[in-house]
Amino acid sequence: NVIRETAGYTRMFKTIGCIGDSVTKGYVASSSGGVDLVDYSYPTYLERICGNKVYNWGVSGATSNSWLEGYKGSTAHIECFDGNHKCDAYIIGLGGNDGKNNDVPVGSLDDIKENYNDNPNTFYGNMDKIIRKIKEIQPKAKIFLTTYLIYDLSRILPYEKATRILATKYDNCYLLDLHLYGEKHCDDFDYSDNHHKNALGYLK
């Protein structure tokens, strides 16, 4: 009753780049240890449903800072900004790991400097850097920042608030409020743990 056959107007975008952490990558937890199931990630489902080209630039365990620096040898950030993988739209879902152990402080809008390379290592500073680097290669791309689907939001509420603020700061930037439009469609059995979905959850 929930899953759409066409995902609506998403088909307008020929190419979509999905930036994020394990939730983007398609990580599924299990009693024998977690694993990245990219074939069951939401970017893969999106590509199948819409017929778009969708890049999965998710990196399990990444913060907003470590994603930019190539966490655990990832080249997602390089491919994203190399100019050969330009997208009509970008979906950015980061921050869940920033607040996990307070690895990356939230910061404030003051962390957004004229030259983004001068931004400090805060969530505001890193997200601004990602967004502006996208705008350098694709000035007219639509950028969607997502809230977080997670049982215990307490540790990342400041990061979610920052995401909502950042979504209002840039042209062609929008908020995907997954609490309002997504979470009501998900049940306990759609999760593989308190944070990560399972295959059905990612499809929803």
β-strand pairing of 53-58 with 27-28: unpaired
pLDDT of residue 100: 78
The one-letter amino acid at 157: L
Strand pairing report for 173-176 and 27-28: unpaired
- Which residue intervals of the chain are DSSP H helices? 22-25, 42-50, 64-69, 76-81, 123-137, 157-166, 178-181, 199-203
Q: Residues with Cβ < 8 Å from 146, sequence gap 6 or more?
A: 20, 91, 92, 93, 163, 175, 176, 178
Low-confidence ranges of the chain (pLDDT < 70): 101-102, 150-153, 182-185
pTM, two decimal places = 0.94
pLDDT at 193: 81
Neighbour order of strands in the sheet with 142-146: 53-58, 15-20, 89-93, 142-146, 173-176
Per-residue pLDDT at 154: 73
